[in-house]
Structure 1
Amino acid sequence: MLTDVERSTPQMAPERKTMSWRHRTMISLRHPATILGAILIAIFGYLIVAPVVSMLLGAFQVGFGDDTRIGQSAGSLTTYYIERVFTSGVSDIIFYEPLRNTVVLSLAAIVTSLALGVPVAWLLARTDLPGRRWFSTALIVPYMLPAWTFALAWTTIFKNRRIGGAPGWLETLGFTPPDWIAYGPLPILVIFTMHFIPFVILLVTNAMKNLPDDLTEAGQVLGVPAAIRIRRIVLPLLTPAILSASTLIFAKALGEFGVAYVLGTPANFSVLSTTLYQSIQTQQPGVAAVIAAVMVALGALSVYVDVRFLREMKRFATVSGRGLRGQAQRLGRRKWVAFSGVVALFTTSVVLPLGVLVLSTVMRIPGRFEWSNFTLDYWLGQNLPTVGFSEGILVNPKTWEAAWNTIWMVGVAAVAAGVLGMLVGYVVSRAPARWVGTTLRSVTFMPYLVPGIAFAVACLSLFAVQRGPIPALYGTAILLVIVMIADEMPFASRAGTSAMMQLGRDPEEAAQTLGAGWFTRMRLIVFPIQRNALASAILLPFVSGVQGLSLVIILATPGTQLLTTLSMTLVDNGYTHAANGVVVLICVIALLGTWLARTLFRADLSSGIGS
């Protein structure tokens, strides 16, 4: 019989440590956050990872209908699609030229957006600019609007009969714009710049507010000119925020479809997103899979650059215990010049595009500003000469069907994404096993690496046919809602994680001591405390979903038409008045939803993006 001393001999220590490790593992596995994390990993693994894997496999497998042309049975391995995209006689048309156009446009959009956005962010964050609080909100309105809103406004003004088939405002007034102004890379770049400036303002303004005054003041005392102080002190400290804005712009421009489609297609100017769309429309899913895989690689590369450089730039820390006074710099005589510039930016990025679209819907002849030319027929009329859309926008059943589909599908997806984002944040902040939270964060972040139209192709490749107990979902509202939820998880999960990290364990542990179960604690304590953060996590997916086109243009069918796809259908048919009117409705819904969320729940759009 062993004595107490014998039981505690060193030879028994490893066994005790093993039992202690096993005990901790069992406790960790039984923790509600671990169980919830495992469930969420399985769900998102199927909704996010599986479609991407299915798409990538489609680039190496013979598709149905291609077996005769390729000479191999459907489903067998092949390099045909790889060779067609990269080495065939049409490679330059279907891949290399669109790739060059995409990269050049994206890089140019980064330069122009930063060149305008960073000075505006400085005016809003560091100066006594009149009305800067109002402008801080007003100048992010372009983010709430579809990017192709600006494209439709541009064509309304600048299109010509030589390419567009109908006169624009300028041509009606006697001036015919040249083709390179009406369509092609220049207008696309201008639209990208206006749409992406809010990203720069949102991401750089907060960094501007944290700049310590003592560094710039020291340079001023030493007689360093203002231009050198900005170049050697301010800009290096802003490098992380500028780099984040740049990678975000690159990823957004990479997958932007509507602008390139409206302004590029008439001039035969193609980018990867429009080429991908044309591949799907011409029944070439294998080619589409290869192009989508390239877009995924480019998106992943931009995020890798962001993470790698930001990790190395921790030395640019700007928040310290001293020197952070944040005093507004007086502009003096330059105040009203700066104010005029900001007003001009707001006018060209918000007032002018929306004004042009609204006016275009009440004019019989574009650009003729006479009372006799104004009409409400395109809003309220009957028996209009637009075949298939012969009623006015507000009395047309197709409009209301698309509006209802947009509101309920995007609403359900936004609420689900917000709730799931908070649950992801709960797992990341509470799960005893770190690998659970790390895995979940990586999986939910994956859609950020995949441009919207490429992710739509991935989901189509998985859900177009029945797989096991999961039926074919193509053409159903369920597929659109699922895809919207998955696509918005990067932002929703980051917002949820940021909020949950700031919530202490004390309220939940107190309720647990009193016998409250996990569901009760989540329902009565965690979610009520985080209601404002939840509203912010819902707001961003809602705004993004209402205006989203790249994600749904491939998946929507006549029975699941949304306002965005309805507008693009009207554009294809040449019904400019109706298309512009539908876009105006989209803008109203997005702005109204944002205003209600901010008014009722103090939801902040910038917190969703910043997270």
Structure 2
Amino acid sequence: MTTQTGITRLIVSPQRFLNRWFGKYDFSFVFWIGFILILLLLIGLPSYWLVLRSLMQVNESGFTLSNYIEVLTNPRFRQAALNSLILATGTGVLSILIGVPLAWATTRTNMPLRGLIRILLLGAFSMPTFLGGIAWILLAAPTSGWLNRVFVELTGTEKGPLDVYTMLGAIFVVGIYSFQYVFLMVSSALEFVSSELEDAATVLGAGTLATTFRITLPLVLPAIISGFILSFLEAIALFGSPTLILIPARINIVTTEIWQQFQYPSNVELASAFSICLVVLTAALLLLQRRLLARKGYTTLTGKAGRKRLIDLGYWKWIFLAFCLLVATLSLFLPVYVLLRTALSKSWGRPLDASNLTLAWFEDVLFKQPFTSVAIQNTLVYAAGAATFAMLVGIAIAYIVNRKLVRFYQVLGFLPMLPLAIPGIVIAVGIFSAYSRPPLVM
């Protein structure tokens, strides 16, 4: 109990905590500098090793730009970069097309079951995209997919219409697990938009559609753009689900190319150069976002607290409800069903009847596999530790930036966004670069 009290005092009031142990000296600046150094270490160290290793010659001493020249001139690498841009852009556009209507319907209209829809969409957000990719392979594989087999049985055709092993299939799978970024940001922004401007537009003769596109959505444009950026970065940084879908289709993307550079014979220098190019690309996108949003102001000024009025959609509310349920089915119900159906089947290709039901797979995973319990424990410890650490550092940095405690607070506010531009596999390259080979002696 004493430890918890001390930690609570340290977070809530660092100066009071330090005064208790060191007297009436102002140590708060040292406390904040410590968090700044932690942030710089977390971001700067992998970046330093990436840059250093990308400039090294393979199996030789000295520096060179040949790795960057190879990345920029090799047609295979250029095609992989183009494929990643197509995947990320398609995912961002799909996220807007799904997330914005859902956010508007659940926050500004009288659509039924708004609370339930929000819970279902957030439930889909909790499903890892890797599991979603596996589920949709089971659902939409060209010959063995469950949806294709149902279509063949119903129509008598030889082949179903769905093929997840395409770029469109990858965009769809990644998009239905990334649109929640747009949904969350836009719905939160819409909660703070007053209905007064919408009422004024209605009095002047504007319809619901015109008011939405000319008044409501422009006010939440920063949230829409931010959601697009997050969805874009999520797609361009993903490795698991795009690898499962695109490698069988012989479509390479940046993350799979970086991974392939670690296959024998490994080329860490080339992988580092490729990673730096990816970081520069996505960091430039973040800077572009800031420039676009800095040109206009998006603050709504009123003389009193804003009122909230739900828009009556009439019979259209049922159409929006059907759209919301369709999205929930594609992102949550169908994937969970097919995963559960496969896990409970002796043979997943056979019908799910009494003779095909089994719990043997759960017994094998939970009790017979020697590393399952250890893996679950490690995952929980790693997740809880990472979340706690990120929360403490994030709160401290946000406090420093908002209170303008240091001169370079604007730069400090941009630095936490950079990890969004650094895929996990790129960070792994940086760590591998630091420990796989002694650094050059300068």
Q: Same fold (TM over 0.5)?
A: yes
Is 1:409 equivalent to 2:386 in the alignment?
no
Closer, same or farther: CA 53–179 of 1 in aligned 2, 3 Å: farther
Shift of 1:152: 0.4
8 Å Cα contact 2:400/2:406 also seen in 1: no
8 Å Cα contact 1:102/1:271 also seen in 2: yes
Is 1:193 equivalent to 2:193 in the alignment?
no
Partners of 1:431 and 1:173 in 2: how far apart?
60
Shift of 1:393: 4.5
Closer, same or farther: CA 132–319 of 1 in aligned 2, 3 Å: farther
- Of 179, 195, 202, the match for 1:213: 195
Shift of 1:202: 0.4
Closer, same or farther: CA 116–426 of 1 in aligned 2, 3 Å: closer
Closer, same or farther: CA 92–36 of 1 in aligned 2, 3 Å: same
- Of 61, 64, 72, the match for 1:86: 72
1:280 counterpart residue number: 262
8 Å Cα contact 2:193/2:300 also seen in 1: yes
Partners of 1:319 and 1:143 in 2: how far apart?
34
**1:70-95: per-residue Cα shift (whole Å, max 9, x none)?**
xxx33x112221222222xxx111x1
Is 1:126 equivalent to 2:140 in the alignment?
no
1:332 aligned counterpart, secondary structure: coil
2:315 aligned counterpart, secondary structure: helix
8 Å Cα contact 2:138/2:338 also seen in 1: yes
1:587 counterpart residue number: none
Shift of 1:148: 1.9
Closer, same or farther: CA 377–172 of 1 in aligned 2, 3 Å: farther
1:236 aligned counterpart, secondary structure: helix
- Of 165, 168, 171, the match for 1:183: 165
2:136 aligned counterpart, secondary structure: helix
Amino acid at match of 1:119: P
What's the RMSD between the two structures over aligned residues? Answer: 2.6
**Higher mean C-alpha deviation, range 423-432 or range 257-266:** 423-432
Shift of 1:217: 2.5
- Give matches, 1:27-426, under 5 Å: 31-62=26-57, 66-67=58-59, 73-74=60-61, 76-87=62-73, 91-93=74-76, 95-160=77-142, 167-170=144-147, 175=152, 181-282=163-264, 283-314=266-297, 316-322=298-304, 324-369=306-351, 370-380=353-363, 391-426=364-399
**1:304-344: per-residue Cα shift (whole Å, max 9, x none)?**
12211222221x32353348211111222223332222222
Partners of 2:439 and 2:54 in 1: how far apart?
19
8 Å Cα contact 2:108/2:190 also seen in 1: yes
Amino acid at match of 1:377: A
**Higher mean C-alpha deviation, range 117-126 or range 451-460:** 451-460
Partners of 1:429 and 1:358 in 2: how far apart?
46
8 Å Cα contact 2:258/2:275 also seen in 1: yes
Shift of 1:256: 1.0
2:4 counterpart residue number: none
8 Å Cα contact 1:157/1:169 also seen in 2: yes
Partners of 1:411 and 1:254 in 2: how far apart?
26
Closer, same or farther: CA 36–440 of 1 in aligned 2, 3 Å: farther
Shift of 1:195: 0.8
1:434 aligned counterpart, secondary structure: coil
Q: TM-score under structure 1 normalisation? A: 0.62
1:585 counterpart residue number: none
**Higher mean C-alpha deviation, range 394-403 or range 148-157:** 394-403
Amino acid at match of 1:55: L
Closer, same or farther: CA 146–394 of 1 in aligned 2, 3 Å: farther
Amino acid at match of 2:226: S
Partners of 1:111 and 1:433 in 2: how far apart?
38
Partners of 1:173 and 1:107 in 2: how far apart?
32
Closer, same or farther: CA 118–440 of 1 in aligned 2, 3 Å: closer
Gaps of 5+ in 2: 1-24, 153-157
2:176 aligned counterpart, secondary structure: helix
8 Å Cα contact 2:36/2:397 also seen in 1: no
Shift of 1:431: 7.5
**1:21-76: per-residue Cα shift (whole Å, max 9, x none)?**
xxxxxxxxx742321233333333333202102101211112xxx33xxxxx33x1
Identity of aligned residues (%): 26
Gaps of 5+ in 1: 1-29, 68-72, 162-166, 381-390, 469-611
**1:270-327: per-residue Cα shift (whole Å, max 9, x none)?**
111111111123411111111111110121012112211222221x323533482111
8 Å Cα contact 1:128/1:328 also seen in 2: yes
Partners of 1:211 and 1:345 in 2: how far apart?
25
Closer, same or farther: CA 224–52 of 1 in aligned 2, 3 Å: same
Larger radius of gyration: 1
Closer, same or farther: CA 115–430 of 1 in aligned 2, 3 Å: closer
Higher relative contact order (CA 8 A, sep 6+): 2
1:512 counterpart residue number: none
Q: TM-score under structure 2 normalisation? A: 0.85
Amino acid at match of 1:457: V
Partners of 2:391 and 2:159 in 1: how far apart?
46
8 Å Cα contact 2:142/2:162 also seen in 1: no
8 Å Cα contact 1:102/1:254 also seen in 2: yes
Partners of 1:170 and 1:355 in 2: how far apart?
12
Partners of 1:150 and 1:285 in 2: how far apart?
30
Structure 1 stretches of 4+ moved >6 Å: none
Amino acid at match of 2:98: L
Amino acid at match of 1:379: F
8 Å Cα contact 2:174/2:235 also seen in 1: yes
2:15 counterpart residue number: none
Closer, same or farther: CA 278–424 of 1 in aligned 2, 3 Å: same
